[in-house]
Amino acid sequence: MPDSDMMAIIEQSINELLVWVGFGTLVGLAAKAIMPGRDPGGAVATLLMGIGGSVVGCGTLMFLVEGKRVTPISPLGFAAATGGAFILLFFYRLLSGSLITEAEDGDRFTTRKYRRRRRETLLRDS
């Protein structure tokens, strides 16, 4: 019988892992849909951001609400996880330089596409 107990634990662990991966993907996609603009990450970044957002959002909600267990697979848990993923996406964009770019010497514009155009113009004129 020890083998059947071990198999039940393994099956439950794999089920939990697949639920977190699926749920994390949905939460990450929802957060990316809410925040406008281009995203600096791909599919793996969306998945990890969704899983991290689930942990951050649901953990924060459980910390703030005494005696209530928040499961990620519930409407309240989905909203909290999406909020957590939104916050992670905001800081991810902030740290990757997608939201704010620093001007270089002589640059008048602060967005990347304008700097690129200006550099191309300067190189053509030289």
Range of the domain at 67: 2-100
Q: What is the pTM of this model?
A: 0.65
For the beta carbon of residue 99, count every other beta carbon within 10 angstroms: 13
pLDDT in tens, 14-47: 988 888 788 888 888 888 888 877 776 777 888 8
Domain presence at residue 85: yes
Percentage of the residues of the chain whose pLDDT score is greater than 70? 74
Domain presence at residue 109: no
Q: How many domains does the chain divide into? A: 1
Tokens coding 34: 């809410």
Give the C-alpha separation, 74 to 126, whole Å: 61
Give the C-alpha separation, 58 to 76, whole Å: 9
Domain presence at residue 125: no
Look at residue 11 in the predicted model and tell me its pLDDT: 92
Is 82 within 8 Å of 93 (Cβ atoms)?
A: no
pLDDT in tens, 43-85: 788 888 888 888 888 888 888 888 777 777 788 888 888 899 8
Domain presence at residue 6: yes
Burial of 1 (0-12, 13-18, 19+ CB in 10 A): exposed
